[in-house]
Structure 1
Amino acid sequence: MKQFRTGLVVGKFSPLHLGHELLIRRAMTACEETVIISYSESELPGCDSRRREQWLRARFPEAILLVLHNDQHALPHNDADELIHRRLMGWACTHFLNRSVDAVFTSEDYGDGFAAELTRYFGGHPVQHVQVDQARKAVPISGTRIRNDPHAHRSFLSAEVYASFVQTVCFLGGESSGKSTVAEAIAARMETAWVAEYGRELWIEKDGHLEYEDMRQIAVVQQQREDALRLKAFRYLFCDTSALTTLFYSREMFGKADAELEQRAERRYDHVFLCAPDIDFIQDGTRREASFRLQQHAWYLAELQRRRIPYILLSGSVEQRIATLLSHLG
């Protein structure tokens, strides 16, 4: 038997850091079920409610989670009187979750008053306050410090949370326009991860005999790689092509594109760089003629404009292109 039946943890979790995770795991150890409620008005930079919900579901799938979204609920300001916030939590437990709680877990000195108000709200049902690491000795960090520089405080964030602060950088361009070379070089320069082009790998594996069904699979695997490597990246993740590239080849080779491929081609990146066809064309046995590269480049120009996707043109040598990247990425 655990000490409590139902425990409650409330927070902005902006962002969800290892101090919060310690608090939640202590609650889960002591309680048969743990309720996590998150809300913030106003939202704090990089920590909107749906992102917080994603973090909490990824890290604590077994918990009972309630995230109050600003666009769905009239929430009190973060600086509103404590009594308003405490009564809101009592109302949320009864209105949304149809339950009271037996303990509230905090790392703050207001916890005793919070528990006392919940006890009154629940008609005298006793709620105990359990304090966890108030001095912040176990996890010496705060949300404010992390928001100021999430990259400097990466060690206080789980991979799933830190990944939200990693910016994605996509390289597009025709065949032999330097995408892979630049992606690998800039990733090494910035000591982070890069995503190789899966479509090229599959083309080589199948000796150039791709089928229509391969197009959708290329987009799926490419994005799976992006999602996996984002968990390992630092500050930036560099992506050699995207599903937009696969969409071009599907239409070029088969005159059509799978609905899922079309949808995956909508994925947006924080930065898009288009590699100009101004370097020597190298025929490695897997590429078409040089004129096809110009056709691809023209298609990207038109498609990026049609989709209203901002981009930066990369031209010149590899070092010139890296210099352009660094000037834009900082």
Structure 2
Amino acid sequence: MSKRFSIGLVVGKFAPLHLGHEWLIRQAQEQCEQLVLLSWVCPELAGYEPERRANWLQVRFPELRSWVVTPEWVARQRARGLLLPDLPHESAADAAQRQFVADFCLAVLGHPVDAVFTSEAYGDGFAAHLTRCFGRPVQHVEIDRARIQVPVSGTRLRADIHGLRHYLAAQVYGDFVERIALLGGESSGKSSLAQALAEALGTRHAAEYGRELWEEQGGVLAYDDLLRIGRTQVAREQALAGQCQRYLVCDTTPLTTLFYCRELFGRAEAELEQLAERRYQHLFLCADDFPFVQDGTRQGEAFRRRQNRWYEQELDRRGWAFTCLSGSLLQRVEQVLRHLSG
């Protein structure tokens, strides 16, 4: 059964891409053989950078063609000979915004569109402008302008992204979750602290995959296992982030995996070295004043001290700020909470 339109268009900031946008896009998909998504924000909004918006569209709508355009992108297209005007500023007149879309369609898509889908009052004027530019009718299809289906806006979300997270897909909200990373030598209480912090913050924690694999394989790790550990730890964080509330507590980071890889094998894959550069919003190093517990798998207190010194050196070398935690488990939890509220 043929659909109502051949080619449709949805234009938006998608800053962030929320479930209201998704509802609009899904409704448009049902009516179009092809649907194109176009996004720009000028000037850009901190935290909603083009790369993030492009990733959200790709993850949520991989079957659709989507463009997130920037002044740099426009310059590259001009260098290729495409006729595009400057990317309109947020304060530019409606006519300039609409003309950019018309020129984009003709220069980049190579053809007009048949319909534009919006939840906004400007939709009729937008379609009329495109009709004049294309010399053929462009219809405006209005979807849930009253925001009954999904009662939220990008402006509201930007003001309270965590309080309104239920209006975001997990893959989108996960990008706003702050990662709390715990580092420390063996028997420094990281795992207990990760669980206690997650409980205190009402959120989730990413357990240490390397320890799980080590136990699963009877205490034997091959060289290739270390890169696998680094990849899996990052994937675990990414999978959990969208299920969290503001924070994700990470029992370890790929920096720990790098330490063990060098320690066990004297070298590391370039990809693991790169994974070890992964940034975390909050870094904590557990002091080795915690009583050492030998569970039959650990190397000893001297090794723990050397490991902690390595962390300090590596963090300093990278210029990464970190907070040292000391004392009992309760005291360490309190120190983290004070840091987060400061």
Fold match (TM-score > 0.5) = yes
Deviation digits for residues 164-215 of structure 1, max 9, x if unmatched?
A: 1111111001011111111110101112111111111122222222121211
1:78 paired residue among 82, 90, 99: 90
Equivalence for 1:108: 120
Structure 2: how far apart are the matches of 1:50 and 1:319? 40
Structure 1: how far apart are the matches of 2:47 and 2:72? 16
Structure 2: how far apart are the matches of 1:143 and 1:45? 14
Equivalence for 2:5: 4
Equivalence for 1:19: 20
Measured after TM superposition, the shift of residue 71 of structure 1 is 3.8
Measured after TM superposition, the shift of residue 70 of structure 1 is 4.0
Equivalence for 1:59: 60
Q: 1:1-330 to 2 correspondence within 5 Å?
A: 1-73=2-74, 74-122=86-134, 124-330=135-341
Structure 2 counterpart of 1:63, which letter?
Answer: L
Structure 2: how far apart are the matches of 1:268 and 1:279? 26
Output the aligned Cα RMSD: 1.1
SS at match of 1:96: helix
- The alignment covers a number of residue pairs equal to 329
1:170/1:238 contact within 8 Å kept: yes
Structure 2 counterpart of 1:34, which letter?
Answer: L
SS at match of 1:313: strand
Between 44-53 and 244-253, report the one with greater CA deviation. Answer: 44-53
1:50/1:69 contact within 8 Å kept: no
Q: In the superposition, relative to structure 1, how do residues 178 and 71 fare at CA in structure 2: closer, same or farther (>3 Å)?
A: farther
Structure 1 counterpart of 2:113, which letter?
Answer: V
Structure 2: how far apart are the matches of 1:211 and 1:26? 50
Deviation digits for residues 86-131 of structure 1, max 9, x if unmatched?
A: 0000111111221210000011111111001101111x12100000
Deviation digits for residues 35-59 of structure 1, max 9, x if unmatched?
A: 1100011122321111111111111
1:166/1:233 contact within 8 Å kept: yes
Deviation digits for residues 298-328 of structure 1, max 9, x if unmatched?
A: 0000000111111111111111111111112
Q: Where does structure 1 differ by over 3 angstroms across 4 or more consecutive aligned residues?
A: 70-74
1:2/1:31 contact within 8 Å kept: yes
Structure 2 counterpart of 1:89, which letter?
Answer: V
Q: Identity, % of aligned pairs?
A: 53
**Normalised by the size of structure 1, how large is the TM-score?**
0.97
